[in-house]
Chain A
Amino acid sequence: MKPALAERAAPTGHDVAPHPEVRKSRRKSSLRYKLVPYGFLSPTGVLMLVLLVVPVVMVIGYSTMDNVITNKNPVFVGLANYVEILTDPTFHVAVRNTLVFTITSVVAHLLIGLCFAMLLNTKLLANRIKAIFRVIYVMPWLFTVAIIAVLWRLLLNPNGVINYLLQAAGIIDQQVQWLSSPSTALLAVTFINIWAGYPFFMISLLAGLQGVPKDLYEAATVDGAGAFKQFLNVTLPQIKPIIVSMAMLDIIWTSQQFALIWMTTGGGPLDVTEMVSTYTYKLAFSRYEFSLASASAVIVLVASMVLAFFYARHQNARD
C-alpha cells in the first residue's frame, strides 16, 4: 500500500514538473477516480429516475390535461383541474377529515407510545413482566393493514364483541353502529389507526429512552428534582429529536393512509370518513378522471414535500 500512498502524495516544491504524457495519464486516472462514486450510485439513480422521477413528472403533466388515458388526444388546460379540485366541496370535506384523522392519530400515537415506552423502560417492573408487556404492546404492529381492517370490522360490527362488552358492562343500552353511523365512523377509523400505529412510536421512543445517560438523572436527583421534573427537564429534552422526527414522519404517513379507510368504510357513510387518498382513488378508478386524480395527487405531493422539507431540515440540524 505504501507506494500507492506515495503516488497520491501531494507534490512538494522540490518536485520536477512531470512529462505532459504523464500529466495526461494522471488527469485521466484522476477523472476515473472521481467518477467511481457516481458509478456506484448510478443503479440507485436509475431506479429513482425510473420509479420516482418519471412517474411524478408524468402525473404533473397529466394534471394539466383535460383528461388522459381515457382521452386519446388530451388538450392542455393549465390549472383548470386544480381549480376544479380546490373548489370541490367533497375535497374540502376530505381535507378536513384528513386533518382530523391525522392530527388525532399522531398526537395519540405519541402519547400512547411514550407512556408504553416509559412503562417498558421503568425499573419498577421485573424484566419478565416487561417482556410480556413488550410482546402484547407490539402486537398491533405485526398485523398487515388488511388484517387490521378485517379484524376491526368484525369487532365493531353491531353484533360484534365491542358492543357485547359495552352492553354487558352497562355502558351502552343498545348496539352502536360504530363504522356505519355518521356520528361515530370517523372516530372509529381514527381509533383503529391509533391502535395500529402506536407500537412504532413505542419502539422508537423506548430506544431513545434507553440511550439517555443515567448520570443526567443522578445529577437531577442530587439537585432535588422529583420524577415529574426529571421527566420534563431530562427525559423530554433528550428524546425530543426522536419525537419531532417521528411526529413528522407519522404526519406524512397518516395523511396518506388509504388501505385502512378503504377497507373499513370506503369513505362513507355520507363522506364522513372521506380522506384525500380515497377521494383521489375514486376520481381515478371509479370516475376514470385521471387528470383530476393527478391534480389531487399533486396537491398531496406538494403538501408532503413541505412536510418533508421540514423533516429534512430538522434532520440536518440534528447532524
Chain B
Amino acid sequence: MSNDARNKKWSALVGATTAVLLVAGCSGGGDDSTADGDVTLEFTQWWEPELPDGALRALMDTFEAENPGITVELLSGPYASTKEQVVAGSATGTMSDVVGLDGAWVSDFAKQGSLADMSALMTDAGYDEDQLASQIQIDGSTYMVPVINFVYPLFTNDGLLADAGVTAPPSTRSEFFDAAEAVTAQGDNTYGWILPLSMEAPNGIQNDVMSWAWASGGTMLDDGQPDLTNDDVTSAVDYVQSLWDAGVVAPGSLTMKEQDKVEEFTNGRAAMMIDSLAHINLIRESNPDLSFSVSSIPAEDSFTGERGIPYASWGIGVAENSEHQAEAFKLVEFLMSEETNSELSSLANAFPGNTSAVPDFVEGDELFQDAFDIYTSGYPANEFVGLPVAEQLMRLFDEQLQMTLTGEQSVPEMLQASQDAWMAEF
C-alpha cells in the first residue's frame, strides 16, 4: 500500500470516527416512542432501593400488563442523588417523564416550569381527585401528589427508660425532660435524646426541631410567610436549648445525620428519638433484642388540642418536558389506585395517599397499629412542604441554631436572624 493510499485510508477512518463521535455527542435522547407507537416512560425515584428487592419492578410489570404499549424504565438511586438528578433534569429540560418528588422540592421545580400542571392532567383524564388524601399545590395548581406518607413519631427505648425508672413514654415536654435527664444520669455513654443537625442534610430542623412546635399545635408561618419569632417556635427552640444545656442530648449533634441518629438509637445509646416509621423494620433487623415503642411527640404541658405529627412523603409528579404526559399520568393513576396504593404502602410500611387504601401491616403489628392511631388522632404537619428553597431554609435555621447551642447568641437573636434570612429567600 502506498503512503498516499495509507494516508487516505487513515484519514477516512479518523474522519468517520469523528463523525460518529459528533453525532453521538450532539444527539439527544430523541423521541422515546417506537415505530409501532409503543411508549417508554422514564420514572426517576429513590423508592426502588428502599423497597424489598423487585417490589417496585413487579408493580411496574403489572402496570405494563394493564396498559399495553406503555413500558416503564425505572431510574433508581439514593434520595440525595435522585434529587441532584431531578435538579439537573429540571435545569436542562431532560427531566424523566415521571419523577419521585419530596414536598420540599416542589415549589422550586414548579416555579422553574419543569413540572406539569397535574390539575390539568386530572381534568383531561377525568380523574376523581376526591380519592387523593392530599395534593401539593402552588398558586392553585397541583404539582405533586403524595403517594405514601411516613409519619415521624417519638421512638422510645423501653429498656433504657425502665432502667432509669421511667415506666411509660413521656407525653409532655416536662415528662420528656425528666425522662431524658434520668437516662443520661445512668451514665455509660447513654443519653436521653438524639438530635441530628448535619449541614449536609439539614432535615433534622424539620423532623427533630420544628416538630416540637407542631406537636403543640404551633406554626412557623403566618399567611404563608415566615413567622419564626412567634411564641410557638420560640417555645420549641427554648425547649431544645434547655435539653442541650442539661447535657441530655447525645454528643455529635452538629454534624450528625439521620442515619447516625437511627444507628445510635438502635445500638441503645440514645433512649428517645423522633424518627420515620419507615425505620421500624431496619431497627428490628439491626437489633432484634431492642424493646422499643412509638408514641406521639410530647406537647407543651398545658396543651390539650390536636397534635401535629411531622410527616414526609414519597410524592410523584409529571415532567413538563415529557412528550407523553397522558401516559405518564396513567402511571400516576395506577400508583394512586386503591389496590396499588394499599400494596405500596404495605411494602413501604407507610400510610397511603389514597383515602380508600388500607395497608395490611396495620392489623398485624402492634407498633404500626400505635403509629396509625397517632396518625389518625392528630393531623399531619409539615410546613416546609411547598415552601421555596425549603432545604435552604432548613440549612439557614440550622446555622443559626448551631450558633445558639454553642453559646454564640440567644434564642431570640437566633430566631430574628433566621427570620431575616428566611425573608431574604422568600
Cβ of B252 and Cβ of A263 under 8 Å apart?
Answer: no
Chain A residues numbered 89-121 whose CB sits less than 8 Å from any CB in chain B: none
Cα separation A36 to B260 with both chains bound (whole Å): 59
Return the chain A residue nearest B111 by Cβ. A70
| Stretch with Cβ within 8 A of A (4 or more), from B12-20, B136-144, B162-170, B335-343 | B12-20
* Residue of chain A at shortest CB distance from B390: A286
Q: CB of A291 within 8 A of chain B?
A: no
Nearest CB of chain B from residue A269's CB, rounded to whole Å: 3
User: Which A residue sits closest to B14, measured CB to CB?
Assistant: A39
Interface string of B88-105 (1 = CB under 8 A from A): 001100000000000000
Output the least CB separation between A88 and chain B (Å).
Answer: 13
Contact yes or no, A179 B11, CB < 8 A? no
Number of A-B contacts (CB under 8 A): 123
CA distance A189 to B398 in the complex (A): 21
For A182, what are the chain B residues with a Cβ–Cβ distance below 8 Å? 254, 406
B22 pairs with A268, CB closer than 8 A: no
Smallest beta-carbon distance A270→chain B, Å? 5
Say if the beta carbon of B355 comes within 8 Å of chain A. Answer: no
Q: How far is the CA of A35 from the CA of B15 in the complex (A)?
A: 11
Q: Which residues of A contact B (CB under 8 A)?
A: 4, 29, 32-33, 35-36, 39-40, 42-43, 46-47, 50, 69-70, 72, 153, 157-159, 175, 177, 179-182, 185, 262-271, 282, 285-288, 290
Q: Are B198 and A268 in contact (CB under 8 A)?
A: yes
Choice from B25, B90, B108, B199 contacting A266 with Cβ under 8 Å: B199
Please state if B251 and A158 are interface contacts (CB–CB under 8 Å): yes
Residue in contact with A270 in the complex, picked from B189, B406, B425, CB distance below 8 Å = B406
CB <8 Å contact, B389 and A287: yes
18 contacts between A and B (CB under 8 A): A29-B7, A36-B10, A42-B14, A46-B18, A50-B26, A70-B111, A70-B112, A153-B260, A157-B252, A158-B250, A175-B251, A180-B251, A180-B252, A180-B256, A266-B200, A270-B403, A286-B391, A287-B389
Closest to A268 in B: B199
Task: Please list the residues of chain B having a beta carbon within 8 angstroms of any beta carbon in chain A.
Answer: 2-4, 7-8, 10-11, 14-15, 17-18, 21-22, 25-26, 83-84, 87, 90-91, 108, 111-113, 189, 197-201, 250-256, 260, 264, 269, 389, 391-392, 395, 398-399, 402-403, 406, 408, 425
For the complex with contacts A42-B18, A266-B198, 12 further pairs of A-B residues with Cβ separation under 8 Å are A32-B8, A36-B14, A39-B10, A43-B18, A50-B26, A157-B260, A159-B269, A265-B255, A269-B254, A269-B255, A270-B399, A286-B389
A282 touches B395 (CB 8 A): yes
A268 touches B14 (CB 8 A): no
Do B7 and A266 have beta carbons less than 8 Å apart? no
CB distance from B241 to the nearest CB of A (A): 16
Are the C-beta atoms of A271 and B399 separated by less than 8 Å?
A: yes
| B200 adjacent to A39 (CB under 8 Å) | no
Known contacts A177-B254, A271-B399, A69 near B21 by CB under 8 Å: no
Q: Which of A46, A175, A185, A265 has the most CB of B within 10 A?
A: A46
Minimum CB distance partner of B18 in chain A: A42
* Complex-state Cα separation, A61 to B328, whole angstroms: 35
User: Of A35, A47, A181, A267, which is within 8 A of B199 by CB?
Assistant: A267
Q: Which residue of B lies closest to A185 (CB)?
A: B255
Are the CB atoms of B200 and A262 closer together than 8 Å?
yes
Known: A181-B254, A265-B199, A266-B199. A70 touches B18 (CB 8 A): no
* Set of chain A residues within 8 Å of B15, measured between Cβ atoms: 39, 42
Measured CA separation A104–B200 after assembly (Å): 24
A72 contact set on B, CB distance < 8 A: 112-113
C-alpha gap A288/B113 in the complex (Å)? 14
Q: Is A47 touching B21 in the complex (CB atoms < 8 A)?
A: yes
Closest 8 CB pairs of A and B: A266-B200, A269-B254, A268-B199, A39-B14, A266-B199, A158-B251, A69-B91, A180-B254
